[in-house]
Amino acid sequence: MTPPIEKLRREVSDLHQELVRYGLVVWTAGNVSARVPGEDLMVIKPSGVPYEDLTPERMIVCDLDGRVVEGDYAPSSDTAAHAYVYRHMPQVAGVVHTHSTYACAWAARGEAVPCVLTAMADEFGAEIPVGPFALIGDDSIGRGIVETLRGHRSPAVLMKSHGVFTVGKDAKAAVKAAVMCEDVARTVHISRQLGKPLPLAQGDIDALNHRYQNVYGQQAGR
């Protein structure tokens, strides 16, 4: 096991606990993966193992066709979807899947979460779109993710009648997008109980997203 893979195994294992901490998963559902830099490999959780039993040693290394390269367990049932995303979105180095409650409620309706909050404009730069319904077991879900997110600012997609998939420049960024997706899905749902949420102007969405992505926080060299 090379040092980069060993490091990613620790990181991916630890990030699964963030899904639990933020209440985005139950039982053994959900998964985090990370692309191995410079190699056609990824690290992903094993299938059906409780979160409290996940360790770096139990993370699975697969190639980008979903075949196990290293590990003693069967990989996540969503491995084919993750692998497809990595093959077709080279800028993505982290993928997360959750069944978080409020986001799944929107997915069950096949309805995008409209961009009506500055926090949404910051993180997603648009509505959170809905991808097509697809069965688990092959790369159909991955195809739907790529088709929906290609050319879209959002790092999150609600797969119809299924759940949330998020992508990022690394696994931590994808986890953050999953946390934010659930947060805004809940807030917009509550807003709709009070009336019709007010949309943000496209120019304001553009400005907010640009500032958040390029100015906000501790930028390199500053």
Closest CA to 116 of 207, 210, 198, 191: 198
165: which strand partners?
A: 97, 157
Is CATH 3.40.225.10 the right assignment for the domain spanning 3-214? yes
Structure tokens at 42: 């990824």
Amino acid letter for position 50? P
Contact 182, 125 (CB under 8 A): no
Task: Report domain extents, the chain.
Answer: 3-214
Half-sphere exposure of 3 (CA within 13 A, CB side): 0
Q: Tell me the residue type at 76.
A: S
The residue written with tokens 């993966």 in the block is 33
Query: CA 111, CA 221: separation in Å to the nearest integer?
Result: 41
129 by Cβ neighbours in 10 Å (0-12 / 13-18 / 19+) ranks as middle
- pTM for the model stands at 0.96
| CA pair distance 34, 41, nearest whole angstrom | 9
Angstrom distance (rounded) from CA 150 to CA 88: 9
Instruction: Evaluate whether 60 touches 68 at the Cβ level (below 8 Å).
Output: yes
Tens place of pLDDT for every residue, the chain, 222 residues? 799 999 999 999 999 999 999 999 999 999 999 999 999 999 999 999 999 999 999 999 999 999 999 999 999 999 999 999 999 999 999 999 999 999 999 999 999 999 999 999 999 999 999 999 999 989 999 999 999 999 999 999 999 999 999 999 999 999 999 999 999 999 999 999 999 999 999 999 999 999 999 999 886 554
Cα 190 from Cα 192, distance rounded (Å): 5
